[in-house]
Structure 1
Amino acid sequence: MTRAHPWSYHEAIRYLSARAGYDRGFVANPFGDEGAGLERTRHLLALVGNPHQQYPVVHIAGTKGKGSTAAFIATIAHAAGYRTGLYTSPHLHTFRERFQLDHQPLAPDVFATLLQELASANEHLAAAHPDLGEATAFELTTALAFLAFARADVDIAVIEVGLGGRLDATNVVLPTVAAITRIGFDHMHILGNTLDAIAREKAGIIKPGRPVVSAPQAPEAAAVIIATAAQQNALLWLGDRDWHVRGTPEAFTYVGPGGQLEGLRSGLLGQHQVENAGVAITIAHSLSQQGIDVPDTAIRHGVAAVRWPGRLEVVQERPTIVLDAAHNRESAQALATALCTHFQWTHLTAIIGLARDKDLLAFLTPLLPLCTRLIAVPTHSPRIRAPEEIVEVARQLRPHVDAMTAPSVAAALALAREQAGVDDLIVATGSLTVVAEAREALGLASADPDERALLG
């Protein structure tokens, strides 16, 4: 059936959609069948020639900043002259954004061709191993990334973990270097309720004898990473112990295994991005130590040139409009700090939509004191929380805040812009779907309605 005719892009998306859901979705819960997902992914990749073994891999886990860190190191590698693959999740406007070759999303026809090949392999997998069954949507897309990068002859691939690390489908790789960004509380119903429990899942990407770079961590998380690295005989470069950054995104200094770099500038706003850049720079030095030369000029250029839409993205001035995909307590605090650091305003309107599985109270706590007005919105995501619930909790936290709902992100933006003065600030946040719909409403991008309808 999968080889009857060449698939169109929408047929490929439809195939994925049929294998997706909340728990077995595009970033799947790997704990439901404890390890079977990794086995399925290995078998699936073996059927198409083990493409993940054909190039060096940087494998990145963490709670905060792993996508930004992946963007930093991919841009650095590209600046060093390497053909670079980047696999991240989720996406903003099109599913193909998850698979990038030298900063360009995978072409629709290439996506469809490769997924059709994997669908055929998936049929063979299910027939040969009925105990394992078919691969999930996320396992298939992970395999698609590896296959696309092999067919494109990349020099290096940067792979972001989907969820956790230890049992994530991406953890089939033997990385040239692994990295763990700052660990915090997210996906607690899956990964655990304590930092050390969450850290054990993230540290599951550390492989025997393979170097690992870590952001500075809370003591409980650092202890787990240090112990795991020692057990695996893996060289560990731990932030604030083995490497350091100081300064602001506009001008910072890095000190670490490759020496000292001064006068660095980040292409991404926010003090937390200085730390993410530090992780990426340490990764670059680790690659150089292993024969993949990344000169300081490429590091300097890559850190400054990186772009990662929807992360403290300024899309308009007078009034200023900022889009940020903060979605949990730590990222909301980072957003609040960045707003106070980088912007001044007379009135701040926050447009917020948050998924039901996120801690609404913890998310609102650092942001509400900054707000004159809050507009709660739905999005196209079936997992988004009812706007009325956001308004109710906001009023409990801050009874006098001007809190209301709007029927859509576009409507909220129109209202906020109509009422804003030139010195005011509008922030759209809470999820990537809020950011995506804001960018689309502002004419910065467009979505494929058929794709969005299939993906839900």
Structure 2
Amino acid sequence: MAMTYQQALAYLYSLTNYEVKAASAYAPQFFDLRRAQRLLDALGNPERRYLSVHIAGTKGKGSTSAMLASILRQAGYRTGLYTSPHLHSFRERIQVDGEMIGEQELADVAERIRPIAAEDPELTTFEVATALAFEYFARCQIQVAVVEVGLGGRLDATNVLQPAVSVITTIGHDHMHILGHTLAQIAGEKAGIIKPETPVVSAPQQRPAMEVIRRTARRQAAPLHAVSQLWTWRATCHSLECQEFTASRHAGRDLWSLHGLCLPLLGTHQLRNAGVVLETVAVLRTAGLKIEDEAVRHGMASVRWPARFEILGSRPYFVVDGAHNLDSAHVLARTLRTYFPGQRPWLVLGILSDKDIPAILHQLLPISAGAFLASSRHPRAADPLELQQLAAAYDVPTRVCDSILHATEQAVAAAGENGLVVATGSFTTAGAAREAWLRLHGRPLPPLDPHVG
């Protein structure tokens, strides 16, 4: 009897899962590339049957991946997209041409992998999921895979790839207990995806991070494309639906200007991500891919990437954002000031216990009208009573709720029709708040996973 989707999820979650229980160090005893490579070797190396783009970074790697995949689809390439984490269903992580892997398709590939993976009991959930994605992409006969790193880079299971181009988005402070406490240490792990003689595109970085990337690229004889030295961009106007901008490549051999680009992902940080995408497209063109300007234009305009300053509705305005560290909380606060000047949002807030909670609260509470605190469904979710104790230092009202749904209901009531609600603190909070808002408005829910005990 064929494996079911629920059985496939139960199998994946039965493995060591560092998304649920964090590893104590970024070291081979926890993250061993050889495990992932042995599994892929046994599967016949599906990851070698298509061109790939490998994307690491602290901030923006998901948005960057989504933009690039959208452009490649518009250019006519059958495109795979592998990202993490998911908001509602594990299937979101594995997409081909914008469509999630089907439930039975995932189960079928899991059934193929399970007996092979059983030979190595140390394999983790992410390592098997990565092999599953690569095998599925091969079965779908994709032409290009856009692959987001799960954690770090150097020891991440995705680092088995030999990509056409490596991409490093903005590096900041996150997962510091694993990756290191300085930007240079964190950058060293991210730069671990740089391959010998393989082009690497880097977002604008702070100096310590950029120095590490330059040094690593030089050691690997990898051509470095530093976006800050190659591109300029300028927003021309913005609304709650999209932002328009121009971008120009003003250095190097290939000059390139694009005017009137429309991007539905909001915030100035997304323009930086767009600059990284444009330089990646330039590199892929050099590698022989035919990507016309119109594909870039339509790909940017049609990209969808939920829970990144996503405005679900109005009366009150309801924003969902996966900000979960100091840097992303700072960007969220800045973007709120840009798009909702003078408004103080009511927060629906749930944060994971291993994050820098005081730093996140310091960015968000001073600009808020109040916060409804709840525990998300993640096993590492912080106790909302502890959040409330830390929030006492700020002159804003807080209330502990027994679920994200109840927190959402109360925040919407407090905001009134003319107010603003922002649900944030983690991607699990963002996902639960999206579901809560849809339920409150009688809207269809996205595909949800069955409960796995």
TM-score, normalisation: structure 2: 0.93
RMSD over equivalenced CA pairs, Å: 1.8
Which of 111, 114, 123 is 2:106 aligned to? 111
Which of 153, 157, 163 is 1:175 aligned to? 163
Q: Quick one: distance in 1 between partners of 2:19 and 2:228?
A: 37
Q: Quick one: distance in 1 between partners of 2:277 and 2:449?
A: 35
Query: Is 1:15 equivalent to 2:11 in the alignment?
Result: yes
Q: Quick one: distance in 2 between partners of 1:31 and 1:172?
A: 17
User: Which runs of no fewer than 5 residues in structure 1 stay unpaired?
Assistant: 127-132
Per the alignment, residue 190 of structure 1 pairs with: 178
Residues 230 and 34 of structure 1: is their aligned pair in 2 closer, same or farther, counting only changes over 3 Å?
farther
Residues 358 and 24 of structure 1: is their aligned pair in 2 closer, same or farther, counting only changes over 3 Å?
closer
Q: Secondary structure at the match of 1:355?
A: coil
Residues 137 and 346 of structure 1: is their aligned pair in 2 closer, same or farther, counting only changes over 3 Å?
closer
Q: Quick one: distance in 2 between partners of 1:296 and 1:350?
A: 40
Q: Quick one: distance in 2 between partners of 1:36 and 1:419?
A: 45
The answer to whether the 8 Å contact 2:248/2:257 transfers is: yes
Residues 284 and 121 of structure 1: is their aligned pair in 2 closer, same or farther, counting only changes over 3 Å?
same
Residues 297 and 28 of structure 1: is their aligned pair in 2 closer, same or farther, counting only changes over 3 Å?
farther
Amino acid at match of 1:260: S
The answer to whether the 8 Å contact 2:183/2:209 transfers is: yes
The answer to whether the 8 Å contact 1:122/1:134 transfers is: no
Q: Quick one: distance in 2 between partners of 1:160 and 1:28?
A: 20
Per the alignment, residue 254 of structure 1 pairs with: 247
Q: Secondary structure at the match of 1:197?
A: helix
User: Following superposition of structure 1 onto structure 2, how do residues 28-107 of structure 1 map, counting pairs within 5 Å?
Assistant: 31-34=26-29, 37-107=32-102
Which range moves more in the overlay, 225-234 or 243-252?
243-252
The answer to whether the 8 Å contact 1:332/1:367 transfers is: yes
Q: Secondary structure at the match of 2:222?
A: coil
Percent identity for Structure 1 against Structure 2: 44
Q: Quick one: distance in 2 between partners of 1:169 and 1:211?
A: 20
The answer to whether the 8 Å contact 1:324/1:427 transfers is: yes
User: Following superposition of structure 1 onto structure 2, how do residues 238-387 of structure 1 map, counting pairs within 5 Å?
Assistant: 238-247=226-235, 250-256=243-249, 257-344=254-341, 346-387=343-384
The answer to whether the 8 Å contact 2:68/2:146 transfers is: yes
Residue by residue over 1:86-107, the C-alpha shift from the partner in whole angstroms, topping out at 9 and shown as x without a partner, is 0000000000100001111100
Residues 28 and 255 of structure 1: is their aligned pair in 2 closer, same or farther, counting only changes over 3 Å?
farther
Q: Quick one: distance in 1 between partners of 2:216 and 2:328?
A: 26
Residue by residue over 1:286-338, the C-alpha shift from the partner in whole angstroms, topping out at 9 and shown as x without a partner, is 11110011111111111111110111010111210000000000000000010
Per the alignment, residue 203 of structure 1 pairs with: 191
Shift of 1:446: 4.5
The answer to whether the 8 Å contact 2:28/2:155 transfers is: no
Q: Quick one: distance in 2 between partners of 1:36 and 1:407?
A: 35
Q: Quick one: distance in 2 between partners of 1:175 and 1:99?
A: 18
The answer to whether the 8 Å contact 1:319/1:424 transfers is: yes
Which range moves more in the overlay, 373-382 or 251-260?
251-260
Q: Quick one: distance in 2 between partners of 1:44 and 1:30?
A: 23
Q: Quick one: distance in 1 between partners of 2:31 and 2:307?
A: 34
Q: Quick one: distance in 1 between partners of 2:436 and 2:10?
A: 26
The answer to whether the 8 Å contact 1:35/1:167 transfers is: no
Per the alignment, residue 215 of structure 1 pairs with: 203
Q: Quick one: distance in 2 between partners of 1:207 and 1:33?
A: 19
Shift of 1:346: 4.4
The answer to whether the 8 Å contact 2:20/2:380 transfers is: no
TM-score, normalisation: structure 1: 0.93
Q: Quick one: distance in 2 between partners of 1:29 and 1:238?
A: 33
Amino acid at match of 1:427: V
Per the alignment, residue 129 of structure 1 pairs with: none
Residues 69 and 112 of structure 1: is their aligned pair in 2 closer, same or farther, counting only changes over 3 Å?
same
Residues 447 and 441 of structure 1: is their aligned pair in 2 closer, same or farther, counting only changes over 3 Å?
farther
The answer to whether the 8 Å contact 2:345/2:419 transfers is: yes
Q: Quick one: distance in 2 between partners of 1:339 and 1:122?
A: 46
Q: Quick one: distance in 2 between partners of 1:36 and 1:137?
A: 11
